[in-house]
Every structure is written in C-alpha cells, then in structure tokens.
Amino acid sequence: MAEPICIDLDDEDTWRPPDLLCELLLPQQGGEKRSVGEATIKQISGDAGMALSFSVVPEAGQRVRQQSVPSTVISHLTVESTSTIVLKLLKPVFWQVSADQGDYLDHLALVTNEPEFHMVLSTLRWWLPHVVVQGTLPQQLEKDPVVLRLEGISLTARDIELLGDEQCLNDSVLDFFLKLAVDLVAPEHLK
C-alpha cells in the first residue's frame, strides 16, 4: 500500500481587497507627474481579457471619470519609494484627463500611504502575475509566500497563477509535479 502524500496549502486565508484607493499621477511634459486625484482601482474582465479599471473620484459637482488599461499592456511595476508605484506600459494608452483633454500615456503612478503600501503592491502583483517588479521591494514582499509544499519543494502563489493561465512553466513547477508523479506512480526501486 502506498504511503499518503502530504501537500500543504498556505494560501487558504489570504485576503485581497476587491479594489484599491490610491492617488493617481499622470506624466506631464518635462517628465514631471501631475495628480488627477484619488482613484479607485479594480481588476475587471473585459472583451479583450483582464484589465485594471481606474475610477477617478470626482471633485464636488463633477462626474466620475473611468478609464481601463488592459492587463496585457502593463509590463513593469516599479517601486520608486515606500509610497509610490509606477506602472509602465508596453504601448501608449489614450487617457481622457477631462471632457476636452486627453493624451497618450506610457506610464502612470500610484501613490498610497506607507501602512497600505504592502497591501497595494501585493494586490497589484496578484492581479498582474506576468508583470516584472523593479525597484526595492519591502522586506516582507521580497519572497512570494509559499502556497504549496511537497517534501522541501515549494510553489508560490505567483507560480500557480502563471501556471493557471498557461503562461509559464518554471523549474519550481516542474520539480513539484515531477516529484509528485514519482511519489504516486514510480516503482519503489526508482524512488
């Protein structure tokens, strides 16, 4: 009779917010950034796949301005400080700043307060598993949390997310499933 195999799951109680609230900065001429106010950011499913929806919180008397950026267009998350994250885009996206003004943007910045920074960055990384993260990460985010563990081989939430979308089959995933296959079906003399 085969021995039971123990696969541990560490991600059962992980909570991620349905949306984020950050100050939104857009690039200006000369490389400066201009605040357009606070924005609620959500991950949405659209015709072209997943996207981030930005709803700029209006000033008194104005209506909410909403803008979507396809997730596939976002290439990098750059951590500039303990409160600022820059989203770099593969190709410019048209952004309607006001009723009569718009521009093509190749990046945008999100600013949050320090206590919420970890949650904002962690959520963005979960929503955008394909994105390269640059800059200095807070110590608690330097390593992804381990979600599955089998005899010393660990898979992170990011590994599983990429595997689920059939985007990436990395060494950790191969090692984990090869070990699982060997433990399940290999004859005893090969183990």
CATH number at residue 92: 2.30.29.30
State pTM to two decimals.
Answer: 0.66
Structure tokens at 150: 């089998």
Confirm whether 2 is domain-assigned. no
Instruction: Please tell me the distance from the alpha carbon of residue 93 to that of residue 37, in angstroms, as a whole number.
Output: 19
155 and 97 in a common domain: no
Q: What is the pLDDT of residues 99-142, one digit of tens each?
A: 677 788 899 999 999 888 888 988 898 888 788 778 876 655 55
% of residues, the chain, pLDDT over 90:
21
Confirm whether 3 is domain-assigned. no
Residue 43 has pLDDT above 90, yes or no: yes
- Return the exposure string of 132-161: e unless at least 16 CB atoms fall within 10 Å of the residue's CB, then b: ebeeeeeeeeeebebbbebeebbbbbbbbb
What is the distance of C-alpha 179 from the center of its chain? 29
Confidence of residue 48 (pLDDT cuts 50, 70, 90): confident
Confirm whether 14 is domain-assigned. no
Q: Reading across the β-sheet that carries 33-46, which strands appear in turn?
A: 65-70, 49-56, 33-46, 19-27, 101-111, 84-98, 74-79, 132-135
List the domain range (segments joined by +) for residue 161.
143-190
Instruction: Please tell me the distance from the alpha carbon of residue 130 to that of residue 168, in angstroms, as a whole number.
Output: 9
Total count of domains within the chain: 2
78 and 172 in a common domain: no
23 and 46 in a common domain: yes
Confirm whether 7 is domain-assigned. no
What is the structure's pLDDT at 182? Answer: 85
Confirm whether 156 is domain-assigned. yes
Confirm whether 6 is domain-assigned. no
98 and 162 in a common domain: no
Choice between 17 and 40, residue whose per-residue pLDDT is larger: 40
Residue 10 has pLDDT above 50, yes or no: no
Confirm whether 149 is domain-assigned. yes
